[in-house]
Structures are given as structure tokens and as C-alpha cells.
Structure 1
């Protein structure tokens, strides 16, 4: 994994090295697909921006639609918004009105869970329109930041736990 600082004092994990290895990237997608096929998931909601990398191939493979959850003012048309707090400020996610119908079963996908704020905002958006969030899925978890605890018992599936030594 490559580390870089996008905001002073905040360390980010970057999945670029995974994407540079076609076999490792395919294997990653396959692990998620194996877990979610046959679970009647109709919506894969990907969080901007790296959830857009993993979400669409998972959605295609399990026969679900992909719904992008974007930063403010990036989606055309009518949207609903959910503001949330990050460890370094505030942010917001938006989703098209009508993209998800009441009763649909949703999977939330992102590259990483740190403090859990972004995943909570995504779940709030989906649940506000009546979707059932089945699970959240991330490639990496930073367990020392306790993001899993903020998910209020919602299942979280991760492939790698990153612990700094």
C-alpha cells in the first residue's frame, strides 16, 4: 500500500497498487462476488470515488444495479443529501431521487473504513428512501479508528485489516 497525505496530519491508504495488478484486482472482486451472489441484493451503492472502482463490477456480477453516492453538486437532477462529520471536517453525500426504491436490498461499497462516518452517511441515505442495507463491504479496515463501532451493529465485511506496527 502507498501512503500519502491529502490533508495535513491525516494519513490515507491508497489502493492504487492493488489496481496495478490485474490478478489481485480480479481476485478482490471475486471475493466480494462470492460473498454476495444469491443474497438477493438489488442495489450496490458505491461511495465516491473509490467505491466506484469496486462497486460496478460487483453489481454486474451479482445482477444488481449500481448507484453512485457522490460529493455535493456532482449529480445532475434532483438529489437527496446526507451531511456527516469526518475526523478532519464535514462532508456530504448525495444520491439521485428515485435511484433506489423502498424495499430494495442494498450493499454499500467503499475501499476503506476508517472512522465509519462515510459508511454511516451512505446507510442513512439508503434507509431514508426505504432500502434495507444488507451489509457494508470494504477492501481495508483501519481497526484502531473504531469505525465498525459506529455502524450500529450493521454487518461489515472487509478483506484486510491494516494495523500499524
Structure 2
């Protein structure tokens, strides 16, 4: 089910001054709540991701889970979660990383990835690329072969793609 003429940007709402003044927030909740548009979006992303022949998907907390779960189902793949510290049970592996506005950390369960598994990282948004680059590093730290990354939205004017060393697929791009 895909209508190639359907412009999915019509289903993304821009919210000015969120989360702070001067920021235009691209809200995917309006896409998620439209069943037909959401099905078309996941179908388009699934086609792009399938070309990389992943063994498993990795979703970044938390909107990345919303993207990765239907993709994993559609592609017949498993899904691992990359989360903030203290959110995953069992033994975890942590990566601390710097962002333009501070620092952050991500964790993965130590046994989530088998060495050499082909992984595609999934999230809702590519902005400056800091969290996505850290996710790729964390996955490599536990033995993954990261073969690509896919997001619904890319804010190309922020240059996040330039921080990544894997192929990147984005469904929608905003230049400003």
C-alpha cells in the first residue's frame, strides 16, 4: 500500500517556539495518528532499510522505538533498544558522549547484539547528529556492524549527516 503522489510533509505539524523560543518543532504525532499516511511512511522506510539487509534494528529512546517497532514487524526482524541509563534490566554497556549543549549517555543490554550482526539504527529525527553518532559508536562497541541509519525527518540545515560514517536514509527533509 503506497500512493507515490502522497506528500507526507502534509502530515507533519510545525510547532513554533517549542521546546524553547526560536525553535520550530516538527511534530510527528500528526503523522502517527493518520493510519493511511503512517502505513505509507513505514512502507517507504521499510523499502529503504531492507536494501541494507539488516539482521536486527536498533531504536533510539524514545521516538525511535515508535519508528523501529513497525519496521521490525514489517521486515521480519528483531529490535533492540538504546536507552538512557537505568532503564534496561540486566547487564548493560554504556557510552557517554558530548553534545553541543552538554553531555549524555546511552545504554544497550550487553547481550543484545551478536558480534557481526548487521544493524540499522532507527530514530524519528536527524538534527545535529550527536545522538545518532553516539548510537552507532555504542553498537560498534558491542560488536555490531552498523550498515545504515534511517529517520523520518532530517533537518539538513543542521548538518548532522556529516557526523555519520554510515549510509543514511531520511523520509522527509527540511532545509530550514
Is TM (by shorter chain) over 0.5?
A: yes
Question: Does the Cα contact within 8 Å between 2:52 and 2:148 map onto a contact in 1?
Answer: no
Task: Name the SS for the 2:89 alignment partner.
Answer: coil
Q: CA deviation at 1:83?
A: 1.6
TM-score, normalization by structure 2: 0.86
> How many angstroms apart in 1 are the aligned matches of 2:117 and 2:146?
8
Give yes or no for the alignment of 1:50 onto 2:53: no
Question: Does the Cα contact within 8 Å between 2:130 and 2:163 map onto a contact in 1?
Answer: yes
Q: CA deviation at 1:49?
A: 0.6
Q: Deviations over 1:30-69 (max 9, x none)?
A: 0111223364311100000100001011111212110011
Higher mean C-alpha displacement, 14-23 vs 42-51: 14-23
> How many angstroms apart in 1 are the aligned matches of 2:20 and 2:104?
14
> Quick one: which of 135, 151, 163 aligns to 2:164?
151
When residues 8 and 91 of structure 1 are mapped into structure 2, their CA distance, relative to the original with a 3 A threshold, is farther
Task: Name the SS for the 2:53 alignment partner.
Answer: coil
Quote the residue 2:152 is aligned against.
139
Higher mean C-alpha displacement, 9-18 vs 132-141: 9-18
Give yes or no for the alignment of 1:99 onto 2:115: no
- List 4+ stretches of structure 1 deviating above 6 A: none
> How many angstroms apart in 2 are the aligned matches of 1:91 and 1:14?
23
Quote the residue 2:89 is aligned against.
76
Q: CA deviation at 1:9?
A: 5.8
TM-score, normalization by structure 1: 0.91
When residues 80 and 8 of structure 1 are mapped into structure 2, their CA distance, relative to the original with a 3 A threshold, is farther
> How many angstroms apart in 2 are the aligned matches of 1:37 and 1:135?
10
Q: CA deviation at 1:85?
A: 2.3
Q: Deviations over 1:114-160 (max 9, x none)?
A: 000111111011111111111000011111110000003x1110011
Alpha-carbon RMSD across the aligned residues, in angstroms, is: 1.6
> How many angstroms apart in 2 are the aligned matches of 1:7 and 1:72?
25
